[in-house]
Structure formats: structure tokens, C-alpha cells
Chain A
Amino acid sequence: MRAGLTILLATLICTAAASQEVRGPFSLADKVMNTTVIARSGGVYELRQKTDQIFTPFFSVDSLASSWKDAPLALDRDRMEFFSYALNSKLYKDAAALLFADGLFPESDTLSYLRGVLAYDIHDFALAAKNFSAVSAESPFQPAAKAFVDAWTSQPELPDYKDKSPWLAGAMSAVIPGSGKIYAGDLRSGVSTFLIVGALGAMAAESWSKLGIKDWRTITLSSLFGVFYIANIYGSALSVSVTKQTYEDAQKATLLFGLRIPLHQF
């Protein structure tokens, strides 16, 4: 009865805590269980790594900021062709140093658009959205710029994904460690969690039966098991939103990659 109540309490606390960013031993233990060899070979983990990579800018444009004291240069047809060449040749830092230099080219829709395309190419999508939004409605680049802003601000639809409950995931993992993660859609991480929490449980149980509850080894192993057990509930509740976010990011990345050709037609 007492054990049941403790499990219920742990489930409630961990599920509530999982709704926000929590650091500390539980978060660390959950990270350990999510990054084992078994978990890393899982589809969700790989997808998350890939999408994290996609949404990480290659470099910060701010680091190349410079100012130009002479008269501005013209952003004519030839210069546009140069930027097309630079972007296609992956000379991103050169293009960034020129396009984001203060005063080198006069402010215009064309400059905003080119800045947006460069930011898109270096995967700084927030900066791309900011620059594409600055393109006025009269500009010939407006349809392409608007297409990006629409794709960036849209909430992608996940046709094959059914909404899961973090409470149910937490409760499932309280009964069978890792089962909540499997329910959330992260099979490998669930298996990894089950093996680690199970092994720690077996170690604590063995120590308890052979050395007694008051022995320091039993206390250490039981405490360790407790941390990982609670982390398993916390991580399972969290994995529902993390898995959904991963699928949404992947869907958004697909949408954004589809825009590459229209954006580069200038």
C-alpha cells in the first residue's frame, strides 16, 4: 500500500516537473538512458539529431559584422549574379560579410531578400524569416519571401501522429520502466531505460537480500536505483512532447527544403 502511494506520488511530481526544463540528477539520469548505444540507434533519436543539426546555423552572421565608410556600392544585375555564384559555391562567409556589412549596399528589398536567402542557406531560419518579412509587397521577390515566412510560421500537420498523454506515459513507466517511452513512440530509448532501471533494481535487490537494508552498499545502490527510476518517469512524460516536437521539426525541415529552388531563382 505504502509502495503504491510512493509510486503514485513520484509519477505525479515527475510528470508535472517534465512540463518544464528541469536540470539536476533526474535530468542527467534521463540523458544517460537516452544516449546509450541502444537508444542512439533508434529512429526518433536519429531524427532528433538530424533536425537539431538542420536548425543549427553554420555560423553567426554577427561575428562577421563590419562597417563600410565609403559610398555604397550598387546592387545591380552583375552583383546579383555574383551572390548567386557565391551561394552556389558555398562561399557563405564571403557573402555574409558583404551582405551584412553596414553601409556597403543601400538598404532595399533586394538586399533584404539576398540576406534572407543567405540566412536560409546557413540554416539561420529565424534571421531568414526576419529579412524575408522586410521585403515589401511591391517587390518581385515578395512571393518567394512570403512562401518562406508562411512555411516558417505554419504549424506543420502530422497526419500519422496521434496525440499522446504525458500523464499516461508517466504512469506506464512507473509500472514498467521504459514502457512510457515506448508508448510515446521512442522504442529504443524505452528498451534502454528498461535495461538500466532493471539492472539497477536487480543490484539493489541483491544487496538488500544479502547485506541487509542498513548496509552502505544497499543504501547507495537503492539511492541510485531511486534516481534512475524517477528519471524514467520524468523522461517518459517528457518524451511525449519531445517526440512530437521532433516529428514537427522534421516536417518543417521538409517544407523548408522544398523552398530551396524557388528562393534561389534571382
Chain B
Amino acid sequence: MKTLRKLLFCSVCAFLSTSFSLSARIDDGDGPGPELSAALCEMASWESSAKAERDSLLMQKAEFLSAAGETTRAYETLCRISSFGMNESRRADLLSRKLTSAYEADMMDAFVALLEEASGSGLLQVEQLIPEGNPRHKSEDAAMLLSVIPGAGLAYAGDYAAAGKYFLINGSIIALGVGTFLSGLYTATFLGGGMLLYANLPKSTDLAVRAAANRNISYLKDFYAPVYGALKQSRKIQETPAP
């Protein structure tokens, strides 16, 4: 029993020391970080004379950039790879990488265009993954028009915190304007109220339009999440080495 306890204690200690040393290695940044690794891939691809090798290095670079959170640069790197001369499976792989990269970089216009390309060319079997119906949509024009009512445009766009803030600010300005008007201070009402509203309304309108645009991106991401999930999953399976 005593020996078993000792053995268990030693195993726990060994496990903990290994875990700590591993995490320390990761924290220390042992080896080149993802940015340097990506840059080394770029340099190697420039120095390489074979197209296949260059493409492969750029794909690696895109992976390092994704790991570094530089999703837009990762997508741009993949866009530099020409699919000319590639066989069908490599073209499909490139398209799949571009799709996941565009999704991660919130470049939903590019994602939808690539999805159409994938469906049209038959390179990727994605049609059955696209959900029925249309993604939800917030009209930017409606957000702009509703902004005439303090905070309404932002509330429509789904940014309730900013809607509350601008409802209070612009609502108070209007209330103050009515108050000063009823007190007979006409100059103060028109000059002061006008100035304050002029300073605040365009700002809240602009915020509402941008919030609607951002909301549309998140709706598109939610809508196409199954496609992204499937692509990511199939990439993981491909990259896992056979036992």
C-alpha cells in the first residue's frame, strides 16, 4: 500500500514537472514565434524556384499568420497563390483554406464570392452544407433614418448600450431645448439646441450605420457557421497523420 502511494506521488510529481516545463517552454517563446516563422516562409518562398514549393511555403506562412491572429494577412497571402497548373485536389485545398481564412478575417463578401466559386466549379461539396433560406439582415438605411429618434437607430442595429447612452444625451438636449423654449429663451433654444444636436446626431447616426454593418457580418458568420465548421473539420482530418 505504502509503495503504491509512493508510486502515485512520484507519477503526479513527474506529470506536474513535465507540464510546467512544457508551459515554460511555450511561455519562453522557445524557437521562432509565428511572425518570424511566417517571415522565414516568405523569404524561403522567394528564394525557391519551384512553383509547388513556393505555394506550399506560402500556405505555411498563412497558417503561421492565422496562429498569430493576423487573419487578414493570412487571407492576403493565400490570395497571392495562383491556382494555375494545380491539380484538382490542390485547387480544392487552396479554395478551402481561402474560405476558412476569409471567414476568420470577417471578410464575408469575399467568403460568399468564394463559396459561389466553390459551388460553381464543383471543387468542394458545400451546397448541402449551406442552410436553407437567407441570412438575417439589418438595413443600414433604416438604421440611418431611425437615428432621427435619439438612440432608435442604434437600438435597431442591436447596440443597446450605445442606444441608451445616445437616448440619454440627445433626449436630454431635446428636453432642455423644450424647457428653454417654454421659458421664452428663443435664442438659447435654437442656437444651443441646434449646436448640440448638430454635434451629436451625425455621430450617433454614423455609429448606428456602422453597428448595422457589423451586425450583418455577424449574421452572415452565424448563417455560414456550418460551412466553416465542416471545412475546418475536413482540413483537420486531412492534416492528421495516418496511424
Contact = CB atoms under 8 A, between A and B. Distances in A.
Contacts of A79: 43
A138 B32 CA distance: 33
Contact of A199 (B29, B35, B191): B191
A68 B191 contact: no
A200 to B, nearest CB: 8
A176 interface: no
Given A98-B39, A199-B195, A202-B191, A211 B32 contact: no
Nearest to A203: B188
B38 interface: yes
A69 B28 CA distance: 12
Interface string A60-95: 000010111100000000110010011000010111
A221 B188 contact: yes
B47 interface: yes
A95 B186 CA distance: 63
A104 B180 CA distance: 70
Contacts of A173: none
Contact of A98 (B29, B40, B188, B191): B40
Contacts of B42: 86, 91, 94
Contacts of A64: 35-36
B interface, size bucket: 20 to 34
Contacts of B70: 93
Interface in B47-63: 47
A97 interface: yes
Nearest to B40: A98
A66 B36 contact: yes
Chain B residues touching A, majority SS: helix
A64 B37 CA distance: 11
Nearest to B180: A217
Contacts of A67: 29, 32
B192 interface: yes
A207 interface: yes
A66 B183 contact: no
B172 to A, nearest CB: 13
B47 A95 contact: no
Given A199-B191, A203-B192, A211-B183, A78 B39 contact: no
B19 to A, nearest CB: 23
A68 B47 contact: no
Contacts of B33: 66
A36 to B, nearest CB: 8
Nearest to A215: B183
B86 interface: no
Contact of B36 (A32, A91, A97, A203): A97
B128 interface: no
Given A85-B46, A199-B192, A94 B187 contact: no
A67 B31 CA distance: 7
A160 B73 CA distance: 44
Interface residues of A, number: 31
Given A82-B46, A97-B39, A206 B32 contact: no
Contacts of A69: 30-31
Contacts of B199: 32, 36
Interface in A3-60: 32, 36
Nearest to B191: A199
A94 B188 contact: no
A97 B35 contact: yes
A101 interface: yes
Contacts of B73: 93
Interface in B172-207: 180, 183-188, 191-192, 195, 199
A203 B35 contact: no
Contacts of B38: 94, 97
B184 A104 contact: no
Given A94-B42, A202-B191, A207 B35 contact: no
Interface of B: 29-33, 35-36, 38-40, 42-43, 46-47, 70, 73, 180, 183-188, 191-192, 195, 199
Given A66-B32, A69-B31, A82-B47, 13 more contacts: A36-B199, A67-B29, A68-B32, A82-B43, A82-B46, A85-B46, A86-B42, A94-B39, A94-B43, A98-B40, A101-B36, A200-B192, A203-B188
Task: For the complex of A and B, list the 5 residue pairs with the smallest distance between their C-beta atoms, beginning with the closest.
Answer: A97-B39, A66-B36, A203-B188, A94-B39, A199-B191
